[in-house]
Amino acid sequence: MAEFVKDTTLEDAVMRGELSVFDFCCQKVEGQIARMKERNPDLLWTLEIQDAMWHNYRDAHKRGKKLVFFGGPVPVDIIVAFDCIPVYLDTIPIRLSPNPVLTGKFIDSAERYVPATTCGLCKTYLGTALEDQYGVKPDAFVYSAVPCDSSRVVYPNMERIFNVPTFSFDFPFRRDDRGYDYLVNQTERFVTFMEEFTGTKLDWGKLKEAMTHSNRTYELQGKCADLRKHKPCPLPGRMLVLNGTSNAMACFPEMGDLLEKELEVGQMMIELGMGPCPNGEKHRVALLQNMLWSFSGAMDWMEKEYDAVTVMDAFGFQHGDLYEDLDDRYGCFKTMAKKIQNNPMIHGASGPSENFLYLTDQIFRDYEPDVSIFLGHIGCKHTWASAKMVTDMIQEKYGVPSLYLDVDGIDGRYKTKDEITGALAQYFDTVVNK
Amino acid sequence: MDYQKLFQSEISGESVKAWKAQGKKAIGYICCHVPVEILHALDIMPIRMRATGITESPDGDTWMSTFSCSFARGILQRWLDGTYEFLDGIVTSDGCLMSARAFDNAEHISNKNKEGRFFYQVGAPRMYGDLEKEYYENELKDLIAKLEELTGNKLTDEKLKASIAKYNEVRSLIQQVNALRKEENPVISGEDALKLMLASSNFTVEEYIELLKAFLADAKNRAPITDKRARLMIIGSALDNPGYLQVIEEKGGLFVADDLCFGSKTFNYAMEVDDKDVLGSLADYYLKRIVCPRMMDNRVQLQKDIVEACKEYKVDGVVYQKMQYCECWGGESLYLEPDLKAIGVPMLQVEREEHLANAGQLAIRAEAFIEMIEK
Ligand code: SF4
Ligand code: SF4
């Protein structure tokens, strides 16, 4: 029998430093699309957003656009209103993470300068900068003081590596009017920065367009999330992966198009009374921490092996703040501030643990999971340090025990897929299905 | 006056118990952006929390997991095991997330047990500017209101200025201690200097001033240290364990300078007071002084300060110690190492935990480093 040999030409070229990360991502998605066209044309919509995003990044300069790299939550709509292309740094490690060799290259590079315990997301994009392998140089860099200590260390270093006009936001832990005011004022400063950087004035009409797209995205995302409250949950766990990075693309119409499709599929599944579990939904899983990007197949595996669908995760959970009066500058900037504070990862991870408790409580109240898994990304030390408070609350209030499983959401070398599924299987067999 | 108490770095409840016997409050604080002058001016004894001497932290580990900084876990352990039972509560600023979690867990557990202790977190911006200062001032006003409620005392500018003067005196005295370390043969080791600075959290500020004065008065009678082979500077994560310096000094190094938040960093700058805007002066001071890399806009200056200190103290080598799981202090080497190299100062990077479990390994690395740099 002929042995199946995986073509690793692209990966090898990245490893040798001959292919940039953006080129790699573009070529990968082109290949996936070609295969999808042949085998599963109905699912092409799932790849279109990625196609648009990576090509946008790579080809921005060819199209005369400026590239603004950003780390952490920032008001992306404003970047777009200035006709620049925003590049969300997190999308790079997330895209590379299914291949541990690739992330390994950049992580190892970063570990020469930052502790090994730094988050894999941060290490990967720092390593890519150190190896000078983005493929394009940013024209500006914007970052924020959240979510965590890892990012607070890595962003200022990257600022010095990029050596381009840079703006940094300081985000308070307060989620009240004082906090919002502070952020609105900083957003005004950011507008001035962008005006100086681009040499143009903020075009409110363009910002309104971006905010309109963004509203559509978040409205649809909220509706998709609502579908997941349904029993059986109509959508597979792996679709949650997108939530974590949707901020990067929320103000692009392609994002809304994708979510419209997702909503359509979800509604159809509800009508058919179906869900992703082959033998019907037996369990509803809540992931308490980060998404396991390096192995999102773990969610498919739980569906297949234990008829356990992941209904929500505390990483990507969205609050769905929408702009109201699009002509009210202060009001819009205040909504941006709220969106930033309720952004995936920021909402639960940064600031006092009570945010994480509140978020988890909401998930358990609204999605009614009966399985709780703290799939703890080891880089996220501050969520580990709130884990007991959160899992105690779940046990006391909802009677659900939690599994603690340490993983690296980005660096697949930390634990093999077999080790992860082995630990999950043991939990399902000895606790959930006992 | 016998100043030997300055070298007993273990956490001591002696002074605070006497203070509390007068019916006054004592509050623990974590991190360096809680203005102690405010607490002092309201007749509260501020005590910087630490984990010195801890050998294990089972409760801290349970609540914060072993994927957390062991210093922060140690603080939580100390809180839970009753070492800090004399404290009426904790005030923190949002330093690193590890120290924030030590606070969160302490508050959570205390509230669960209905202890009725005081907890408050001050938001401190991570950049300096007009907006940031205004924000921080508002945070301080809230803190003052809460503390006034707790103590029944009222804060006035006069009281605040008097407290600032006291703490400025401490700063000036510590700077005099540090000046002694610039000598070719200093009269105080790095280990003792750190003990002396840690002792600031064992005494009232008034007692501490007297002890420091006594030490300085006697400095000329102390024997100079002449048997060391290399002048060192220590930088990095929060270090409240003088034993760590001892291991390295036993191998022939002498720490003549430090960049530690438990060491010189918090004493390096005096506060300038504008009589018309005392709280504003306080906000300026705490946001501008360079203590640790929690700020987003001071990294370059922080690194420059280290390089300058190396020149000023004639340092032969820098020991950069990083606590496991401490990102806050983990990422300075990318630019600092070449800057130090440019002035001919090598840097040794070492990982550590709060409890000095790997002293043997540290000693071996320190010895090799000292051999390499000795002149
Ligand atoms: S996953 Fe956790 S550690 Fe990593 S960047 Fe996000 S908040 Fe920080
Ligand atoms: S040692 Fe580092 S991680 Fe630990 S409390 Fe200090 S700054 Fe935070």
CATH at B141 = 3.40.50.11890
Measuring CA to CA, which residue among B154, B251, B172, B201 is closest to residue B16? B201
- Which residues from A are below 8 Å from B97, CB to CB? 148-149, 350, 381-382, 385
Predicted confidence at residue A249, as pLDDT, reads 83
Quick one: closest CA in B to A391, which residue? Answer: B63
pTM of the model as a whole: 0.96
Within 10 A of A38 (CB to CB), how many other CB atoms are there? 8
Predicted confidence at residue A85, as pLDDT, reads 96
Burial readout A90-123 (b: 16 or more C-beta within 10 A, e: otherwise): bbbbbbbbebbebbbbbbebbeebbbbbbbbbbb
Measuring CA to CA, which residue among A109, A104, A74 is closest to residue A88? A74
Q: Say how many Å lie between the CA of residue A410 and the centre of ligand 2.
A: 24
Q: How confident is the model over A178-184, as a mean pLDDT?
A: 96
Residue A11 C-alpha, separation from nearest chain B C-alpha, in angstroms: 27
A154 lines ligand 1 (CB under 6 A): no
Q: How confident is the model over A268-290, as a mean pLDDT?
A: 95
Predicted confidence at residue A5, as pLDDT, reads 67
Measuring CA to CA, which residue among B149, B193, B168 is closest to residue B35? B168
Instruction: Give the single-character DSSP code of B225.
Output: P
- B→A contacts (Cβ < 8 Å), by residue, are 62-65, 67-69, 72, 94, 96-98, 100-102, 104-105, 108, 121, 123, 125-127, 131-132, 135, 138, 293-294, 296-297, 299-300, 322, 324-328, 330-331, 333-335, 351
Q: Are A287 and A407 in contact (CB under 8 A)?
A: no
Residues B66 and A201: their CA atoms lie apart, in Å, by: 50
**CA atoms within 13 Å, Cβ hemisphere of A235:** 26
Residues B99 and A352: their CA atoms lie apart, in Å, by: 11
Place of tokens 């300026």: B284
N-term to C-term CA, chain A:
42
Atom of ligand 1 nearest to the CA of A90: 5
Residue A200 C-alpha, separation from nearest chain B C-alpha, in angstroms: 25
Length of chain A in terms of residues written? 434
Choose the closest CB to A352 out of B68, B102, B104.
B104
- A373 pLDDT above the threshold of 70: yes
Measuring CA to CA, which residue among B355, B351, B350 is closest to residue B366? B350
Average pLDDT, chain A: 93
Structural domain of B26 = 9-156
Residues A146 and B130: their CA atoms lie apart, in Å, by: 20
Q: Are A224 and A262 in contact (CB under 8 A)?
A: yes
Count up the domains in chain B and report the number. 1
Measuring CA to CA, which residue among B51, B47, B20, B25 is closest to residue B36? B47
Token pair in block for residue A312: 């929500």
Residue A102 C-alpha, separation from nearest chain B C-alpha, in angstroms: 22
Helices then strands, each counted (H, E), chain A:
19, 8
Token pair in block for residue A96: 């590379």
User: Atom 6, ligand 2: which residue's CA is nearest?
Assistant: B238
- Cβ distance B327 to A168 less than 8 Å, yes or no, reads no
Residues B206 and A88: their CA atoms lie apart, in Å, by: 52
Q: Look at residue B26 and give its three-state secondary structure.
A: strand
- A1 pLDDT above the threshold of 50: no
- A4 pLDDT above the threshold of 70: no
N-term to C-term CA, chain B:
39
Tell me, yes or no, whether A185 lies in a domain: yes
**Which parts of chain B register pLDDT below 50?**
none
- Cβ distance B97 to A113 less than 8 Å, yes or no, reads no
In angstroms, the Cα distances linking A177 to A330, A331, A336 are: 12, 12, 13
Q: Are B187 and B219 in contact (CB under 8 A)?
A: yes
* ipTM entry: 0.95
Residues A373 and A360: their CA atoms lie apart, in Å, by: 12
Residues A144 and A149: their CA atoms lie apart, in Å, by: 11
Q: Look at residue A162 and give its three-state secondary structure.
A: helix
Strand partners, B231: B254
Residues B223 and B232: their CA atoms lie apart, in Å, by: 19
Residue A190 C-alpha, separation from nearest chain B C-alpha, in angstroms: 13
Q: Rounded to 5 degrees, what angle do the CA atoms A285, A388, A311 make? A: 15
- Which residues from A are below 8 Å from B236, CB to CB? none
Concatenate the DSSP letters of all residues of A65-87 into one string. PPEEEEESS--HHHHHHTTPEEE
Predicted confidence at residue A3, as pLDDT, reads 53
Choose the closest CB to B325 out of A172, A174, A381.
A381
Residues A49 and A62: their CA atoms lie apart, in Å, by: 20
Q: Say how many Å lie between the CA of residue B116 and the centre of ligand 1.
A: 33
> Of the ligands numbered here, which is closest to the C-alpha atom of A146?
1
Tell me, yes or no, whether A250 lies in a domain: no
Tell me, yes or no, whether B178 lies in a domain: no
- Cβ distance B101 to A385 less than 8 Å, yes or no, reads yes
Measuring CA to CA, which residue among B330, B248, B341 is closest to residue B292? B330
- Cβ distance B135 to A172 less than 8 Å, yes or no, reads yes
Tell me, yes or no, whether A165 lies in a domain: yes
Residues B99 and A96: their CA atoms lie apart, in Å, by: 32
DSSP H helical ranges for chain B: 14-20, 36-41, 58-64, 70-80, 97-112, 130-151, 157-180, 190-198, 205-218, 242-249, 278-288, 299-312, 333-342, 359-373
Q: E strands of chain B, at which residues? A: 25-30, 44-48, 89-93, 118-122, 230-236, 253-258, 317-323, 347-352
Q: How confident is the model over A167-187, as a mean pLDDT?
A: 94
Tell me, yes or no, whether B77 lies in a domain: yes
pLDDT, tens digit (0-9, with 9 covering 90-100), for A39-75: 888 888 888 888 989 999 999 999 999 999 999 999 9
Measuring CA to CA, which residue among B149, B176, B14, B167 is closest to residue B89? B149
- Cβ distance B101 to A153 less than 8 Å, yes or no, reads no
- A318 pLDDT above the threshold of 80: no
Tell me, yes or no, whether B92 lies in a domain: yes
> Of the ligands numbered here, which is closest to the C-alpha atom of A89?
1
Residues B291 and A176: their CA atoms lie apart, in Å, by: 28
Measure CA B260 to chain center: 6
Predicted confidence at residue A408, as pLDDT, reads 95
Burial of B160 (0-12, 13-18, 19+ CB in 10 A): buried
Q: For residue B311, which amino acid is it?
A: K
Concatenate the DSSP letters of all residues of A266-290 into one string. HHHHHHHT--S-TT---EEEEE-S-
Count up the domains in chain A and report the number. 1
Place of tokens 């962008």: A194
Residues B19 and B112: their CA atoms lie apart, in Å, by: 28
In angstroms, the Cα distances linking A298 to A308, A314, B70 are: 11, 16, 32
Residues A412 and A98: their CA atoms lie apart, in Å, by: 7
| Pairs across A and B, CB distance < 8 A | 135
Predicted confidence at residue A405, as pLDDT, reads 96
Q: Rounded to 5 degrees, what angle do the CA atoms B136, B142, B148 make? A: 135
Predicted confidence at residue B285, as pLDDT, reads 97
Q: Are B331 and A114 in contact (CB under 8 A)?
A: yes
Q: What CA dihedral angle connects B197, B203, B206 and B211, to 10 degrees?
A: -60
Structural domain of A30 = 2-200
Measuring CA to CA, which residue among B195, B310, B190, B326 is closest to residue B248? B190
Residues B183 and B181: their CA atoms lie apart, in Å, by: 5
Tell me, yes or no, whether B41 lies in a domain: yes
CATH number at residue A146: 3.40.50.11890
**Angle at which helices B333-342 and B299-312 pack, to 10 degrees?**
30
Instruction: Give the single-character DSSP code of A378.
Output: T
Q: Phi/psi at A312 (nearest 5 deg)?
A: -165, 155
Residues B49 and B200: their CA atoms lie apart, in Å, by: 11
pLDDT confidence band for A2 (50 / 70 / 90): very low
Atom of ligand 1 nearest to the CA of A147: 7
- Which residues from B are below 8 Å from A385, CB to CB? 63-65, 67-68, 72, 97-98, 101-102, 104-105
Tell me, yes or no, whether B365 lies in a domain: no
A397 CB near a chain B CB, below 8 Å?
no
Tell me, yes or no, whether A235 lies in a domain: no
- A248 pLDDT above the threshold of 80: no
Q: Say how many Å lie between the CA of residue B99 and the centre of ligand 2.
A: 6
> Of the ligands numbered here, which is closest to the C-alpha atom of A343?
1
Choose the closest CB to B331 out of A114, A148, A378.
A114
Tell me, yes or no, whether A151 lies in a domain: yes
- Which residues from A are below 8 Å from B121, CB to CB? 173, 352
pLDDT, tens digit (0-9, with 9 covering 90-100), for A70-104: 999 999 999 999 999 999 999 999 999 999 999 99
Token pair in block for residue A20: 């940039």
